[in-house]
Amino acid sequence: MQYMLLVHWNEPENTAASDERKTESFAAYTAYAEALRQAGALVTSAGLQPSTTSTIVRAPDGRPALWDGPYVESKEQLGGYFVIDVPDLDAAIAWAVRCPGAERYAVEIRPLMVY
């Protein structure tokens, strides 16, 4: 079963972090992705550009309406994701616990729907 691990973080806090802290964080996520890859669980992953680069699209009545992001005020933003292929939710939880984002922020686990 495929799950998406949505990694939330505090964008302003991470932007203000020291270069050393940013390097440590990048190394931790790189090691985590490698562990997923070696276990054969990683489907894909990516970090996201800052929420200020996002665009929100809604199309009421088929007419597009656009907003610059972020749309929702929040202490944490979506910072990246991992799509993993594991046997069940328990395995997804075990991987989420190992994610560097789980130490300080939150990792949301969502099963994927296949169309």
One-letter amino acid for residue 115 of the chain? Y
Tell me what pLDDT residue 68 has.
67
pLDDT value at position 71? 56
Dump pLDDT digits (tens) for 33-59.
Answer: 999 999 999 999 999 998 888 887 878
Task: Give start and end residues of each alpha helix (H) in 1-115.
Answer: 11-15, 19-38, 89-98, 100-104
Per-residue model confidence (pLDDT) at position 74: 63
pLDDT of residue 77: 85
Q: In this structure, what token pair is assigned to residue 78?
A: 């979506």
Ranges of the chain with pLDDT below 70? 67-74
Separation CA 93–CA 99 (nearest Å) = 10
2-111 maps to which CATH number? 3.30.70.1060
